[in-house]
């Protein structure tokens, strides 16, 4: 298991970052490595983002020094969303079957976590997001049909999409973690435009279901100092609380969003009029 620490950047410093520096701080190029667990520990809200890609053998979620505890879930909660083949997540000895697009909420203190693929030739790809937690909530399997489903956007503005909310106060209890995914319809390319910030919560995105030769232009930065990063399939971005987070694909795609911070209110956003972006 590998873990990489990313420190927080001040918005004034980010104004001067070149392309490589932006990518080094905010892009996670390899989330899923065959037969491995890879984690990134962000100092924004101490969110841990990563991927578990089990092949023939189960992968155990360890507790590296960065976590500061004897077990990963001692003072943390975890969201797992499968973007690959069928698999199982074993939590404290209980097996949960996750197909593609299914989500598992794992509460603080739930025990050891292990990841397994049903077929090593079509491995599960478990996307992981974890935030600090100080209360134990039950572990819940959330299949796609259990999600709260919204359909915002219009074809005329190329942002017709489905939002599936899994770890959300109306669906499942959590301490601070919220998580779900958004699927852009064919012919649409934009997510989260008009853009917003929420200085109360940081956010991470995993872009997926994007053709290998296509890219998403991910927009970030202060609303009047925007920057972009070119993002490929199954790459993730860390969005600081003060930053917009919006993307336009060269084709349609999906992405998993996850947030941690002072509230779990999905609609608590400070919108920026398109004409005010710079």
Ligand X SMILES: O=C(O)C(=O)C[C@H](O)C(=O)CO
Looking only at residues 16 through 35 of this chain, which bind Zn ion when binding is defined by CB under 5 A? none
Residue 45 lies near ligand X (rule: CB under 6 A): no
Residue 53 touches which of ligand X, Zn ion, none (CB < 5 to 8 A by kind)? none
Number of DSSP helices (H) and strands (E) in the chain, helices first: 2, 24
- Please list, residue by residue across 191-205, b when 16 or more beta carbons sit within 10 angstroms of its beta carbon and e when fewer do: bbbbbbbbeebbbbb
Contact between 6 and 40 (Cβ < 8 Å): yes
| 191 versus 235: smaller Cβ distance to ligand X | 191
> Which neighbouring-strand residues pair with 155?
none
Q: Distance between alpha carbon 12 and the CA centroid of its chain, in Å?
A: 25
Q: Is the four-CA dihedral 102, 140, 58, 30 of positive or negative sign?
A: positive
- Please list, residue by residue across 76-108, b when 16 or more beta carbons sit within 10 angstroms of its beta carbon and e when fewer do: bbbbbbbbbbbbbbbbeeeebebebbbbbbbbb
Looking only at residues 217 through 246 of this chain, which bind ligand X when binding is defined by CB under 6 A? 245
How far apart CA 47 and CA 251 sit, in angstroms, is 29
The answer to whether the annotation marks 134 as part of a ligand binding site is: no
Which of 47, 80, 110, 163 binds ligand X (CB under 6 A)? It is 163
Looking only at residues 147 through 206 of this chain, which bind Zn ion when binding is defined by CB under 5 A? 203
How far apart CA 47 and CA 160 sit, in angstroms, is 29
Looking only at residues 203 through 262 of this chain, which bind Zn ion when binding is defined by CB under 5 A? 203
Q: Shortest distance, CB of residue 134 to ligand X, whole angstroms?
A: 23
Which of 192, 235, 252, 254 binds ligand X (CB under 6 A)? It is 192
Residue 76 touches which of Zn ion, ligand X, none (CB < 5 to 8 A by kind)? none
| 117 versus 254: smaller Cβ distance to ligand X | 254
Residue 191 touches which of Zn ion, ligand X, none (CB < 5 to 8 A by kind)? ligand X
How far apart CA 56 and CA 118 sit, in angstroms, is 9
Residue 160 lies near ligand X (rule: CB under 6 A): no
Residue 38 touches which of Zn ion, ligand X, none (CB < 5 to 8 A by kind)? none
Which of 40, 176, 182, 197 binds ligand X (CB under 6 A)? It is 182
The answer to whether the annotation marks 196 as part of a ligand binding site is: yes
Q: Shortest distance, CB of residue 182 to ligand X, whole angstroms?
A: 4
Looking only at residues 86 through 145 of this chain, which bind ligand X when binding is defined by CB under 6 A? none
- Residue in the structure block whose two tokens are 């873990």: 3
Q: Is the four-CA dihedral 213, 251, 28, 171 of positive or negative sign?
A: negative
Which of 53, 191, 197, 254 binds ligand X (CB under 6 A)? It is 191
Mark the binding-site residues for Zn(2+), compressed into ranges: 196, 198, 203, 245
**Residues forming the site for ligand X (CB under 6 A):** 161, 163, 182, 191-192, 203, 245, 257, 269
Which positions touch Zn ion (CB under 5 A)? Answer: 203
């Amino acid at each position: 298991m590998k873990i990489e620490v990313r420190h927080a950047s001040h918005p004034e410093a980010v104004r001067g970052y070149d392309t490589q520096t932006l990518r080094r701080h905010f892009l996670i190029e390899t989330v899923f490595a065959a037969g491995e667990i890879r984690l990134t520990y962000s100092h924004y809200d101490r969110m841990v983002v990563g991927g578990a890609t089990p092949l023939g053998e189960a992968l155990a979620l360890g507790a590296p020094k960065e976590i500061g505890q004897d077990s990963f879930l001692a003072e943390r909660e975890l969201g797992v969303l499968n973007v690959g083949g069928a698999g199982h997540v074993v939590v404290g000895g209980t097996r949960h079957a996750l197909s593609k697009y299914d989500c598992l909420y794992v509460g603080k203190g739930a025990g050891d976590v292990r990841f397994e693929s049903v077929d090593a030739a079509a491995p599960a790809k478990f996307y992981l997001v974890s935030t600090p937690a100080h209360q134990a909530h039950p572990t819940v399997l959330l299949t796609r049909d259990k999600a709260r489903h919204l359909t915002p956007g219009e074809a005329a503005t190329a942002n017709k999409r489905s939002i599936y909310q899994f770890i959300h106060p109306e669906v499942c209890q959590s301490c601070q973690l919220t998580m779900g995914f958004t699927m852009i319809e064919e012919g649409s390319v934009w997510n989260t435009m008009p853009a917003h910030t929420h200085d109360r919560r940081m956010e991470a995105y995993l872009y997926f279901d994007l053709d290998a030769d296509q890219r998403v232009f991910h927009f970030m930065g202060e609303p009047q100092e925007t920057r972009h990063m070119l993002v490929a399939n199954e790459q993730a971005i860390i969005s600081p609380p003060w930053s917009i987070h919006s993307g336009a694909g060269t084709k349609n795609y999906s992405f998993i969003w996850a947030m941690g911070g002072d509230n779990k209110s999905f609609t608590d956003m400070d919108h920026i009029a398109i004409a005010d972006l710079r």
